[in-house]
Structure 1
Amino acid sequence: MAKQTVARSVSRWIIKGLLIFVIGSIVWVGLYRFLPPPVTVTMLANAVDGRGITKDWMSLDAMSPNMARAAIAAEDGNFCSHFGFDFKAMQKAFKSNLQGERRIRGGSTISQQTAKNAFLWQNGGYLRKGLEAWFTLLIELMWPKHRIMEVYLNIAETGLGTYGANAGSMRYFKHDASRLSRAEAARIAAVLPLPKKRAAIAPTGFTRRYGDKIARRIGQVQRYGLDSCLK
């Protein structure tokens, strides 16, 4: 009898905890639908390491459209057509990694990266991946694609202690993101996967080649309307 009472008590606490988490996360995502995230776990972690936090929010409408197109070209060509997850890209990345390619590929969409950057932390195993999936579903349900891209381009790390395309543009090119050329936007997009190891100004090696490739793809994104959900 005592064991049954304890089991029921534990079950009630688990259910209450889940309800609090679900309601809390929905409210949190709802707030960020309209308010810029003031700070993220990544920003705080880097600040503790002494890198500081440099950011300057800019609306997506104020940014050069080259920046969003560069992000789509580099990170997520199906951004406007998927519902948060690109299973074909995941499968392709998995096969590529199994074949032992030198550069490890990821299959995360911009929506997944936005969920991780805004609400979670960078490292972690299955727990973080599970939470990332949950928050990805929430932002896809509660935010338009325009907002997902806007948040992504304002909180993604674009350099050591630098967050967002606008702050990155100021750091590398000495002008704001409204004036980004194709080549400049492509260089920032090339930095996004490894901002601690790459620089957008005077890039060399892989970063330079990758930036040039993204710059060429920007025209295709525009030509084929792959950014149509942002207009």
Structure 2
Amino acid sequence: MKYLRYFISVFLLSILALQAFFFLQILAWRWVNPSITAFQLAERHRLCGWSIPYIHSCGIKQEWIEFKKISPYLKRAITISEDSDFYRHAGFEPQAMKDAWDRNQKNSKHLRGGSTITQQLAKNLFLSGEKNYVRKVQELAITAMLEITLPKNRIFEIYLNSVEWGEGVFGIAAASQHYFAIKPNQLSMEEAASLAAALPAPKCYDKVQYCSKARVNFPARIDFILERMNKL
């Protein structure tokens, strides 16, 4: 029993230490931009293997751009596509999460859909791509830390600079250059809608070889986003 209590105490302290580590990093991001995310690091290893030195780019394209230098069309298109209530909720959409849970139970699959922009960012910043309930609980905890610590525009800025837009293409600066050879502030409404529509399956949008498992009707998504944008 003594050793069991010791093990439990060490386990709980380890969890608390990990949460403190996450929180301190997030707090620093009020002033300092994240250098790399867990997802980007995983992609770097996937593309180039573990033998490549950490400083090697491995084909990863990313350039940080300030929030004010990003097209307002793109910001609106992303919220329409990914999280229409982003500026009104506290990081979570309970109804969307419930709907996703119901779909998962019917299909005998797990943890699909229902994620807000902040939840997507939490996953990309710190967590692996593995889907399980332990990781989902950690995602929710990090989401709460992000919402408590950072202003909404800062969360959105980090998201737009870190989200995947194609194989090795991360952030809107790289995506704008990769697809249209322009800067993020030059994106038209149609170009913004196109990039927003890519987010559910960015590798498929970039390269057809990744489309075997993706079921995304990109033209239909673009039309939907443009229709919503034209109503505003």
Offset of residue 98 of structure 1 = 6.9
In the other structure, the counterpart of 2:119 is: 112
Give the drift of 1:126: 1.0
Shift of 1:20: 1.4
Cα deviation, residue 175, structure 1: 0.3
Equivalent residue, structure 2, for 1:143: 150
TM-score (norm 1): 0.83
Instruction: Give the Cα–Cα distance (whole angstroms) in 2 for the partners of residues 68 and 19 of structure 1.
Output: 35
Cα displacement string for residues 150-208 of structure 1 (whole angstroms, at most 9, x for unaligned residues) = 111110000110001111010000001111111111111111111111149xxxx8212
Instruction: Assess, with a 3 A threshold, how the Cα gap between structure 1 residues 88 and 8 changes in structure 2: closer, same or farther.
Output: closer
What corresponds to 1:185 in structure 2?
192
8 Å CA contact 1:40–1:117 kept in 2: the answer is yes
String of CA shifts for 1:38-86, please: whole Å, max 9, x gaps: 1112112222222621001111111011111111000111111111111
Q: Where does 1:38-117 land on structure 2 (aligned, <5 Å)?
A: 38-50=35-47, 52-94=59-101, 106-117=113-124
Q: CA RMSD in A?
A: 2.2
* Contact 1:64 1:179 (C-alpha < 8 Å) held by counterparts: yes
Gaps of 5+ in 2: 48-57, 208-215
Q: Distance in 2 between matches of 1:114 and 1:99?
A: 27
Following superposition, the deviation at residue 14 of structure 1 comes to: 2.6
1:124 CA displacement: 2.3
Task: Please give the per-residue CA displacement for 1:105-157, whole angstroms capped at 9, x wherever unaligned.
Answer: 71110010011111212232112111100000000000111011111111000
TM-score using structure 2 length: 0.83
Are the counterparts in 2 of residues 54 and 162 from structure 1 also a CA contact under 8 Å? Answer: yes
Q: 1:216 aligns with which of 207, 210, 227?
A: 227
Residue type of the partner of 1:117? Answer: N
| Match in the other structure for 1:14 | 11
The one-letter code of the counterpart of 2:42 is A
Q: Which residue identity does 1:49 align to in structure 2?
A: R
Task: Select 1:161's aligned residue among 155, 168, 171.
Answer: 168
CA distance 1:23–1:180, change in 2 (3 Å): same
Query: Which ranges of structure 1 fall in alignment gaps of 5 or more residues?
Result: 224-231
Shifted more, 9-18 versus 75-84: the winner is 9-18
